[in-house]
């Protein structure tokens, strides 16, 4: 083994990339006998690798990643990538990361496989050199195909040299690009971490503020780009299926009837609305206390609202035009993956009309205008609710054109706030609130039945009280 450049940081990183902690100690002891300077440099590299992640200076890591020095080793990039993944608040541990080092005629290929995030990282020294990028994509494609076959779910690939970060998904047998990020230096660290979280979806207990929802799920996020790419691939493969054709046709008839030629009947709009509705249905389950990532629920239960139907809660999650994903091979797996990603948010703490935020982020302003869609600001909706519903504990509220439900959201929140102030029994234990439908199991059904709801929460005869109504022509939210 040559030691002529061992004092170089890149070489030290390379030497440490493929040995265990015990081997590192033995190697350090051996090098002590060769010379203090060499050993000191290596021991310093060892201490960086095993130090607690809380002491890692991520700005220095970002600076090294962004520096494509000619003498930088590929192993150095991988070492810094590992540090970044473990120390950047992505909820990853050492045992979540598997280093894959493969021998090849042109040298070693280095990967980090993060199974918990269903992502493999392929590391290169410099993607600008020769055919490095094209060859790496081909190598990565084979690995991602194998992982998809092994785990039976979506797996994605990230190709990086520390500066360029490219996200790929499997479309048939080919890897296609989905999203990219460029790290120019330490100033871009926060953006990179956010981008990585959108890819890995490993952070948890995220407070669903409008800012966080937009950053992590909105049109500019890699999560959205990945979901749209997967959903588009599904639709293109099954667009000729009778069930898909029927739902697509019925959906387009509604806005066409209302808007005439102003409505642009585009597949992309149908796909975007499919994703939005699936997202809303999954969030709907999470808000009332169910875990969308629970495998016992299943994709069909989440999409068709079987739990809500069994609890006699109507009009929240029901069968609709966008159930077509369940008929496509790979569709149920897509719903399960989406549910896992959405379950990371603390939806029980939501304080805003999340769907309005998502819709405004995903659907372009010009498209919303052509569809006649205008969203009421939260402050205005809250003021109108306070004025129209002076006694929420005795009044019923009807919003016949609720759109994303901004007014209903504020009406429910007003009811809960007033009930809490009055010592209403439903607010003492959140599980007893009628919207939560009490997660008890009905015998032989597996879903909560109406008999398990408190008597006061069961649906009663319609028309007993005149509901407060919000008349807002042309305002969907």
Same domain for 179 and 286:
no
Same domain for 241 and 338:
yes
Same domain for 218 and 270:
yes
Same domain for 111 and 188:
yes
Same domain for 298 and 198:
no
What are the pLDDT digits (tens) for 224-270?
A: 999 999 999 999 999 999 999 999 999 998 877 777 777 778 899 89
Domain count of the chain? 3
- Residue 37 falls within a domain, yes or no? no
Same domain for 400 and 335:
no
Same domain for 71 and 188:
yes
More confident: 124 or 405 = 124
CATH code, 69: 3.90.1570
Same domain for 184 and 208:
no
Which of 179, 202, 225 represents a domain boundary (last residue)?
A: 202
Parallel, antiparallel, or unpaired for β 107-114 and 156-160? Answer: unpaired
Range of the domain at 308: 204-371
- Residue 395 falls within a domain, yes or no? yes
Same domain for 75 and 186:
yes
Which of 202, 227, 247 represents a domain boundary (last residue)?
A: 202
- Residue 46 falls within a domain, yes or no? no
pLDDT over threshold 70, residue 400 = yes
Report which listed range, 12-26, 95-109, 253-267, 361-375, is most confident.
253-267
What are the pLDDT digits (tens) for 275-308?
A: 999 999 999 899 888 999 998 889 999 999 888 8
What average pLDDT does the segment 59-76 reach? 92
Q: How many CA atoms lie within 13 A of 221 on its CB side?
A: 23
What are the pLDDT digits (tens) for 143-202?
A: 899 888 888 888 999 999 999 999 999 988 889 999 999 999 999 999 999 999 999 999
- Residue 45 falls within a domain, yes or no? no
- Residue 160 falls within a domain, yes or no? yes
Same domain for 466 and 361:
no
Contacts of 346 (CB under 8 A, 6+ apart): 205, 206, 207, 208
More confident: 194 or 399 = 194
Q: Which of 205, 191, 190, 198 is nearest to 224 (CA)?
A: 198
Which of 371, 406, 437 represents a domain boundary (last residue)?
A: 371
- Residue 23 falls within a domain, yes or no? no
- Residue 295 falls within a domain, yes or no? yes
Interatomic CA distance for residues 144 and 172, integer angstroms: 11
Same domain for 209 and 198:
no
Residues in a beta bridge with 174: 171
CA distances from 291 to 25, 233, 294 (A): 45, 27, 5
pTM comes to 0.72
- Residue 29 falls within a domain, yes or no? no
Same domain for 381 and 463:
yes
Structure tokens, 468: 């407060």
For tokens 């569809």, what's the residue?
A: 371
């Amino acid at each position: 083994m040559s030691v002529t450049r061992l004092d170089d940081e890149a070489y030290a990183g390379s030497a440490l990339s493929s040995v265990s902690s015990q081997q590192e100690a033995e190697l350090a002891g051996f090098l002590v006998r060769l010379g203090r300077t060499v050993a000191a440099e290596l021991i310093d590299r060892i201490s960086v690798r095993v130090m607690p992640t809380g002491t890692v200076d991520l700005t220095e890591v970002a600076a090294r990643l962004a520096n494509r020095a000619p003498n930088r080793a590929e192993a150095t990039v991988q070492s810094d990538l590992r540090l970044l993944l473990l120390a950047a608040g992505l909820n990853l541990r050492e045992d979540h990361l598997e280093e894959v080092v493969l021998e090849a005629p042109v040298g070693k290929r280095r990967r980090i496989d993060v199974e918990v995030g269903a992502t493999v990282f392929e590391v290169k020294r410099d993607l600008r050199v020769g055919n490095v990028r094209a060859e790496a994509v081909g190598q990565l494609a084979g690995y991602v195909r194998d992982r998809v076959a092994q785990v039976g779910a979506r797996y994605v690939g990230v190709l990086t040299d520390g500066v360029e970060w490219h996200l790929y998904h499997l479309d048939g047998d080919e890897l296609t690009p989905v999203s990219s990020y460029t790290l120019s230096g330490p100033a871009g660290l926060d953006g990179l971490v956010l981008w990585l979280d959108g890819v890995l979806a490993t952070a948890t207990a995220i407070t669903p503020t409008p800012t966080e929802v937009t950053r992590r799920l909105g049109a500019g996020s890699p999560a959205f780009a990945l979901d749209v790419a997967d959903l588009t691939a599904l639709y293109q493969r099954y667009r000729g299926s009778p069930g898909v054709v029927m739902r697509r046709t019925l959906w387009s008839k509604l806005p066409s009837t209302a808007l005439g030629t102003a409505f642009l009947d585009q597949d992309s709009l149908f796909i975007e609305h499919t994703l939005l509705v699936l997202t809303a249905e999954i969030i709907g389950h999470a808000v009332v206390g169910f875990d969308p990532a629970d495998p016992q629920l299943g994709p069909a239960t989440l999409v068709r609202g079987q739990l809500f139907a069994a609890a006699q809660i109507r009009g929240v999650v029901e069968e609709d035009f966008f159930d077509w994903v369940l008929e496509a091979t790979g569709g149920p797996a897509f719903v399960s993956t989406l549910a896992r990603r959405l379950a990371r948010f603390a939806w029980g703490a939501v304080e805003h009309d999340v769907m309005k935020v998502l819709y405004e982020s995903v659907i372009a302003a010009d498209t919303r205008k052509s569809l006649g869609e205008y969203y009421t600001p939260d402050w205005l909706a809250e003021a109108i609710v306070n004025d129209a519903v002076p006694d929420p504990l005795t009044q019923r509220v009807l919003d016949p054109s609720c759109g994303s439900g901004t007014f209903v959201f504020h009406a429910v929140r007003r009811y809960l706030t007033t009930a809490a102030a009055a010592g209403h029994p439903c607010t003492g234990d959140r599980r007893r609130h009628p919207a939560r439908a009490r997660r008890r199991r009905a015998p032989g059904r597996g879903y909560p039945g109406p008999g398990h709801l408190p008597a006061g929460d069961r649906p009663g005869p319609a028309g007993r009280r005149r509901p407060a109504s919000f008349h807002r022509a042309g305002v969907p939210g």
